[in-house]
Amino acid sequence: MQVLVVGGAGYIGSHAVKMLREQGHTPIVVDNLTRGHRKAVPSDIPFYQISACEIERLCEILKKHSIECVMHFAALAYVGESVEKPLMYYENNVSATIRLLQAMETVGVQKFVFSSTCATYGEPSTIPITEACPQKPINPYGRSKLMVEQILADYAASHPTFAYAALRYFNVAGASRDGTLGEDHRPETHLIPSILLTLLGRRDKFVVFGTDYPTPDGTCIRDYIHVEDLCAAHILVMEKLCPGQPRIYNLGIGRGYSVKEVIDAVERVTGKRVPVEHGPRRAGDPAILYADATRIRKELNWKPQITTIEEMVETAWRWHSAHPEGYVS
């Protein structure tokens, strides 16, 4: 299948491009490189440095490459930043997606896989979180993703040949197992790379925000899914898309690891002691979040291949230790 990967130079998008090619599909990449990295995309893959807002250019690309499906990863995804700059988030995450859909409509592309998030659930009252859990996001980032989900449902209702999926990620972690791709955010806010960058001397210390949560060790618990398992789910869902049957799935491993458990795993994998400082809780951080991913397991027989935090850390450590400055190095 000819697949346009929007945001294909980012962390998840670049891994999806790699896996699409490995599974016999033909990826074409669009990325404005605001937060992606050109080096994350092989030079022989068609690459266009444009914004998802550029309807005319998108139409040209969709036509030129006879695109059959669009995978959309091009979102801003920092919760704190979304609170400080909500208009930027609604412009990039919502308005740009509308323009992308308009380009698809103009050309006649009928399949769409959307990168959504568990942030659409807000602070759920029940754990584990199923797809039926009420969506009550508590920040502009989560609201922007929920808006797109609602737009897709409305668009599909008025276009009977349109088929789409909305995949609600939990915490994505790790790097490609062959060491060729990894995580390089500026700034880096994700837990595992933040710890590893501390060990590599790029940070003085690692701060644990809150040690008095109602959890076994007092630190927050989250569901971590390996980036390659996440991308495998995208491709599986893409291949099953059918008009009138929206695919709405949680993507997680169905269990959580605490911050302390992740730190302990890093120390076991690397053989290094993590310099830790304890800080106060951050506003809006629930004690426990993890997914119930039963729906995609039952409907599509998807099963994550990496389920231990040690395995996820091992792949991330392989990448970061070889690329301490990210794609710059």
Euclidean distance between CA atoms 39 and 2, whole angstroms: 22
User: Is residue 141 flagged as an active site residue?
Assistant: yes
Q: What are phi and psi of 189, to 5 degrees?
A: -120, -10
Q: Round to the nearest angstrom and report the end-to-end CA distance of the chain.
A: 33
Q: From the candidates 141, 169, 257, 290, give the one annotated as an active-site residue.
A: 141
Question: Do 212 and 259 meet the contact criterion of CB atoms below 8 Å apart?
Answer: no
Whether omega before 246 lies within 30 degrees of 0, making that bond cis, reads no
* Cα angle: 256, vertex 183, 164; to 5 degrees: 70
Euclidean distance between CA atoms 196 and 266, whole angstroms: 8
The kind and range of the H/E element at 3 are strand 2-6
* Cα angle: 182, vertex 187, 192; to 5 degrees: 50
Identify the burial level of 244 via C-beta atoms within 10 angstroms of its C-beta, where 0-12 means exposed, 13-18 middle and 19 or more buried.
exposed
Euclidean distance between CA atoms 30 and 274, whole angstroms: 38
Residue among 3, 324, 20 at smallest CA distance from 184: 324
Euclidean distance between CA atoms 257 and 290, whole angstroms: 9
Residues annotated as part of the active site: 141
